[in-house]
Chain A
Amino acid sequence: MSQNDDPVLEALASLPPIAIDAEWESRVRVRCHSAISRRSTLRRRAGRNLSQGVLAAISGVAVLCAYLAVMLAEVVRLAKHS
């Protein structure tokens, strides 16, 4: 079934759209924009917090590795002396 052979659908497709209130339209747009920027800010902040957390974790692991390396070297040195 296509519109060409259906006068009802053809007439329906030609119905004019409902007029939009410009004030309402711009108010909704502004509201959505502020929601988008709020979400973007939250996401950026979450990303920054995440990267700071990752950095802290890497630093912690590095310090732990260094400590273990020193301990291991000390254990080897003591083992050689005894």
Chain B
Amino acid sequence: MTVSQLRGCGVIYIVEPEIEVALVWRLRAGDSAAFDEIYAVFNQRLLSFLTRMAKNRSVAEDLLEETWLRLVSSAEDLRADTRLGPWLFTVARNLYVSYCRSRVREWAYTADLVLLWPGELPRTPFDVASLNEFEERLEAAIAYLPPIYREAILLVGVEQLRPVDAAKVCGVSAESLRQRLKRARELISRFVTDQDSFAKTGRKELSHVTKR
């Protein structure tokens, strides 16, 4: 039913367009099995995205649960040509933004995170065991990024959305997203190469972005 790509320790599932249309049609008709198929394809990816955005598993789980309930409650209103991946990531991302706004969270925490990292992202023993040193640095680099860069690199780099879809998810033009991606990649490269010196200089450099 899906095309899958091996990546890291897991598999990323990509829904073929014609199957996506059929899934949307079945979901609109109230088919629970269609929901299960969508859930199986996107749940892991959405949880990874939200956990890395929020840097907090329980927040990510709450936001993701709400995302799925939104899908169920909006199922009848979905257009026949709805692209499920971008739709779900948009809802998840908007819920995260609303969460940040309601808690005024990101502003207050971002500066402190630089000092607190890597103790901030909660991990299960499985997560710890499965990450090698380079991946640890990569995760740290992602967490270090300001949210606008982090969401761009997570959507395109980690979750493999097409840049044009990621731009729609983030509500920006394709060109803006391209610039954010470029900047994020530069910052990650610098961080991974020399984490210690970046922590000193990068924090000041990024402060103008985090205060937007």
Binding site for B on A (CB under 8 A): 6, 8-9, 11-21, 24-25, 28-29, 31-33, 35-37, 39-40, 43
Contact = CB atoms under 8 A, between A and B. Distances in A.
B182 to A, nearest CB: 9
A29 B39 contact: yes
A29 to B, nearest CB: 6
Contact of B30 (A9, A14, A36): A36
Chain A at the B interface: mostly helix, strand, loop or mixed?
helix
Interface in B159-173: 160
Given A24-B61, A32-B72, A19 B124 contact: yes
B116 interface: no
Contacts of B71: 32
Contacts of A13: 7-8, 157-158, 160
Given A33-B32, A35-B73, A20 B47 contact: yes
B72 A39 contact: yes
Interface in B138-184: 138-139, 142, 153, 156-158, 160
Nearest to A9: B157
Given A21-B61, A28-B65, A11 B47 contact: no
B32 to A, nearest CB: 5
Nearest to A44: B30
B203 interface: no
